[in-house]
Structure 1
Amino acid sequence: MTTPYLTPAVDERPPAGLDLFCLPCAGGGASAYGRWQERLDALGAGVRVLPVQLPGREDRAHEPRFTRLDDLVAELDEELDEALSRPHVLYGHSMGAFVAHALTLARQRRGAPPPRALVLSSHRAPHVRPNRILDPDADDERLAGALAELGGIPWELARRPRFRAAYMPLVRDDLRLCSGWVEPADVEPLSVPLHLFAGADDHLVPVPAMAAWRDHAGRGSELRTLPGGHFFVRTHEERLLRELAGVVTRYGTPVPAV
């Protein structure tokens, strides 16, 4: 299928195992997972990494951005429906985790094929109120400084007014996209296993905020704490890939011998 939401896969072998769809953090794009695509067997034979490119960034920078989660999920559900009919796992980091959960829940409600598992890192559970460390209502300088403090951007860039003027509107819109929350009594458990990753030193999403996802796990959950802060996905990429490989191999389809 052809959709602007999927970048071309580096691995062009016919799909035989499992697709790993990867959703980015606030302000991020599909390129965040480019190295994962290049390392064809890092996550196990037959696993194909498919980064999801949201509008308003990178090669889709000219397109309007979504600021309402329901609107984005409805379009993702439609655009990716064919691709999500294959055996797959959804992975999301930070904002991507919030979007991945919402997409899975929407597809569960309409009876569409679910992922074999949902892998989430560095975002609070939907019934946990958001903190204001990354405040979408803050001015560009404060927001850029908070993001740099978390390791999301280099301090050198955060101090540049032209960079802030160009980049902070995207970050701000993404933060608003995932600012909602639900009452604990309204939690609807998912019919797929949850695999949760937290950074040991993450001040934005501490370990208890990740552990709270267990309330959404109708088929069980696992929580793993990795070294690093909110962006351990970058600073401890090798460790994360090893952990992910152990997860996705449980859900893959055996690859036929050649």
Structure 2
Amino acid sequence: MNKIKLFCFPYAGGSAMIYNKWEPFLDGSIILKPIELPGRGKRIKEKPMTSLDEIIEDILNTIESDIKVGEPYALFGHSMGGLIVHQLLEKIQTNKMPLPMHAFFSGKGVPHIERKKKNYHLMDDDTFKKEIMNLGGTPPNFFEYPELVDIFLPLLRNDFSIADTEIHTQKYEQRTINITAMFGKEEEFCEEKRNGWKNYTIGSCTLKYFKGGHFFIHDETKEIVKVINNELVTFAKA
């Protein structure tokens, strides 16, 4: 049986540890590889990076030895993690490295269609906190703990600065990889932002919808992993 490495990237302010709960539900042919970014999780003592280019270089340095000809792998990213997957694909192709067999974009619309920006990173602290709570994904009483806020808020603001300054271009490149785009049924994505992923591949492109809003990733673990298994296991058993 072929083994498939699944590299996973977190959302803004998130840690790669969110993916650890997938382990019991993943097919045995899939090797889970959550990628931690500086400033969180086991890399909490490292200074967060302030640009997407820096992040991509850091990730490539981390996973380069795992990307080899004849060894299949896939990429998964939620929200800012989806932006990372998109930019990482460009870098991998530029560097003439083997492309993944599959890319999963979760809670992320296509980058070539500009979205209405809120510029979270420019908000004052009170407004920023309120907007973050409205997005979901943060425990309701989180901001009652100043010691956590002091660590988390600057990191989150930094990540949103990266996401909010995303460069949009009307150009996009079709690749041979398969794509699955995942969305919460209550997410505010226009149809073009969702369906546009079909323009990024000459392979298959599937859209999947889950209960909830932007942070459906926390509550729909089994259903998300089921989709991943269905997409990757057929290849593994070939």
Fold conserved (TM > 0.5)?
yes
CA contact (8 A) 1:120 1:196 kept: yes
Where does structure 1 lack aligned partners over 5 or more consecutive residues?
A: 1-14
Structure 1 residue 132 displacement after superposition: 3.3
Contact map agreement 1:141 1:159 (CA 8 A) in 2: no
Query: 2:183 maps to what in 1?
Result: 198
Could you tell me whether the CA contact under 8 Å between 2:22 and 2:221 is conserved in 1? no
Alignment CA distance shift 1:197-1:78 (3 Å) = same
For residues 156-182 of structure 1, what are the alpha-carbon distances to aligned partners after superposition, in whole Å with 9 as ceiling and x for unaligned?
Answer: 113555543321111111112223132
Structure 1 position 219 matched with structure 2 position 221: no
Residue 214 of structure 2 corresponds to residue 230 of structure 1: yes
> Which of 28, 51, 55 does residue 38 from structure 2 map onto?
55
Whether the 8 Å contact between 1:199 and 1:229 is mirrored in structure 2 is yes
1:135 aligns with 2:120: yes
CA distance in 2: counterparts of 1:66 and 1:191, whole angstroms: 31
The question of whether the paired residues in 1 share the 8 Å contact of 2:7 and 2:34 is answered with: yes
Is residue 249 of structure 1 aligned with residue 233 of structure 2? yes
Of 224-233 and 140-149, deviating more is 140-149
Task: Report deviation, 1:192.
Answer: 1.3
- Greater helix fraction, Structure 1 or Structure 2: 2
Q: Show the counterpart of 1:26.
A: 12
Q: 1:72 to 1:82 in 2, by over 3 A?
A: same
Write the distance in 1 (CA, Å) between the matches of 2:120 and 2:191: 20
**Structure 2 residue 142 is matched with structure 1 residue 145:** no
Shift in Å, 1:207: 5.5
Cα separation, 2, equivalents of 1:127 and 1:181: 9
Give the partner amino acid of 1:45. G
Q: Distance in 1 between matches of 2:54 and 2:236?
A: 31
Instruction: Give the distance between the partners of 1:178 and 1:253, measured in 2 at CA.
Output: 37
The root-mean-square deviation of aligned C-alpha atoms, in Å, is: 2.1
How far does the alpha carbon of each residue in 1:19-54 deviate from its partner, in whole angstroms, 9 at most, with x for none? 1111111101121011123x1xx2212111110011
Equivalents in 2 of 1:202, 1:247: separation in Å?
Answer: 23
Between stretches 138-147 and 223-232, larger displacement belongs to 138-147
Residue by residue, what CA displacement relative to the aligned partner does 1:200-228 show, whole Å, maximum 9, x if unpaired?
Answer: 0013x455423222232243311111111
Q: Deviations over 1:44-100 (max 9, x none)?
A: 121111100111112211111112111211222233111122311111111111101
Cα deviation per residue 1:233-255 (whole Å; 9 max; x = unaligned)?
A: 1112121121221112133255x
Which residue, 70, 77, 81 being the options, matches 2:64? 81
User: Separation in 2 of the partners of 1:123 and 1:69?
Assistant: 16
Residues 134-213 of structure 1: matches in 2 within 5 Å? 135-179=120-164, 180-184=166-170, 186-203=171-188, 205=189, 208-213=192-197
Inter-CA distance 69–191: structure 2 relative to 1 (3 Å threshold): farther
1:105 is aligned, of 72, 80, 90, to 90
Amino acid at match of 1:238: K
Distance 1:113 1:191, change over 3 A: same
Query: Partners of 1:77 and 1:229 in 2: how far apart?
Result: 31
Number of equivalenced pairs: 235
> In 2, distance between residues paired with 1:128 and 1:230?
18
Unmatched tracts of structure 2, length 5 or more: none
* Partner AA of 1:46 in structure 2: S
TM-score by length of 2: 0.90
Q: TM-score, normalised by structure 1?
A: 0.83
What is the identity, as a one-letter code, of the residue corresponding to 1:142?
A: T
